[in-house]
A and B are shown apart, each in its own frame.
Chain A
């Protein structure tokens, strides 16, 4: 039933002149079949023993399906249903490439999964190849004429038959590899496939991918933002038992005109000033927290997304730092002669009181995928500290230290309870349950205040252990802590100030 045409004319009659559309399409089929898929099965698979993971298999199959649609077009012409399928599969292929590359894209240089070709791992090439498919399909569509749409089944020319034969050979080889490394149904591909072998004794067919698992859009990236309202403040319900209680000296509302609830506080004895932050505001007040000396409102959407400011610290030489829950930070320096026009890009209000020194992000390892709600500066080590808060996905209390000079992660640990601390954990409870929302450093100790269970941890920065812990009665959603003299100044999200006697010195210095 095949006709002998190699192209179509304006009247739909056969023509002996080769059609540019089908020549380019044939070359594209040959390229897509032989270069990525053929190389993957013959060279990477049979010659080098590489087995595709389950995602690689589907990406490889997607490429074969696009080639197969090319064969449909060679045989039956560029019917809209073929074009539609090709677009859908290419779009899905791009998504698969993004999904797969996204797992490894942020790793360190040279790291990745399985083999590398010309400096990029196979899944990265899959993303690129699907992109090329879309581009080539667009170019091919530009060559389609109305005569092509009226054509019936075509007789394949020599090179077109070659493309069909190559396709069958490559698919046949993939069938062999798939049978060896994934097995017949219901077995399916594996996340971590073992090396390919023609020896059946080395085959490992798996049903692991069928095991029940929770369906999620973002998996471990589905991290809820911190919410103080979910925390229990009663120290008696916490993971530590028999905590000594600190004495509350004073509790009063802050009488400051802030643009929102306080999110942290710090104190600078050199200038006798407090630093208060709100979700996007930075305030310098006098030493009584009674008057705002200067303030500004950060434009958190300019350049680096600061998110909600949750930590504040005085740095060296009068500079102040505000750290967002997402560990992005901004460093400001007070300046009585700041240019409001120059600072228009940085600040939403009061643009002539500060200059922005820098705005960037802290990178962490252990604290990755955990938000923070505190920041503290240690002059002795010239470092900034942050402490994580637990979330719906992970509960880990991680102390991170960043060197002030390059603002890069320099130390990270989960502090254990010191044997000399004098108290114990409730069975099956851990310090990871604590949600540190305020932190400050003094005398080689990091004082970390947890809004969960109203507990103040004293962490020795030398031994990296929790050397003391105290309960603070009556706290409700504390957000920041500062040390002034012998007192702890604690602010909460209702704008209350609680002054507590500082715990007695403990542990090694």
Chain B
């Protein structure tokens, strides 16, 4: 899934750098990548979502 997210990031950067007219698409891809990052991190830490220390 990280592979997919990095491909999305690459595509977004390419649009920003080479196809600036498609800013809305680029921004949407940025949001999707962010959500995917949050989802994957939460998946990986779902057995203890908060830092495992004293509070």
Contact = CB atoms under 8 A, between A and B. Distances in A.
Chains A and B belong together in one complex = yes
Interface of A: 1-2, 54-55, 57-58, 61-62, 64-65, 68-69, 71-72, 75-76, 81, 85, 88-89, 92, 96, 98-99, 101-103, 105-106, 153, 156, 161, 164, 167-168, 171-172, 174-175, 178-179, 182-189, 191, 209-210, 213-221
Q: Binding site of A, secondary structure by majority: helix, strand, loop or mixed?
A: helix
Interface in B5-46: 5-7, 9-10, 12-14, 16-17, 20-21, 23, 26-27, 30-31, 33-34, 37-38, 40-41, 43-46
Contact of A168 (B7, B10, B49): B10
Nearest to A168: B13
B37 A58 contact: yes
A167 B10 CA distance: 9
Contacts of B51: 98-99, 101-103
A99 B47 CA distance: 12
B3 A217 contact: no
B47 A182 contact: no
Interface residues of B, number: 40
B50 A99 contact: yes
Given A54-B44, A99-B50, A188-B40, A65 B20 contact: no
A490 B28 CA distance: 69
A369 B31 CA distance: 39
Contacts of A72: 16, 23, 26-27, 30
A75 B49 CA distance: 36
B17 A75 contact: yes
Interface of B: 1-7, 9-10, 12-14, 16-17, 20-21, 23, 26-27, 30-31, 33-34, 37-38, 40-41, 43-55
Given A153-B20, A168-B14, A172-B10, A191 B30 contact: no
Given A85-B30, A161-B17, 18 more contacts: A2-B20, A57-B2, A61-B9, A65-B30, A89-B34, A89-B37, A92-B37, A103-B51, A103-B52, A171-B9, A178-B3, A182-B3, A184-B3, A185-B4, A189-B44, A213-B47, A221-B48, A221-B54
Nearest to A174: B6
A68 B48 contact: no
Contacts of A1: 20-21
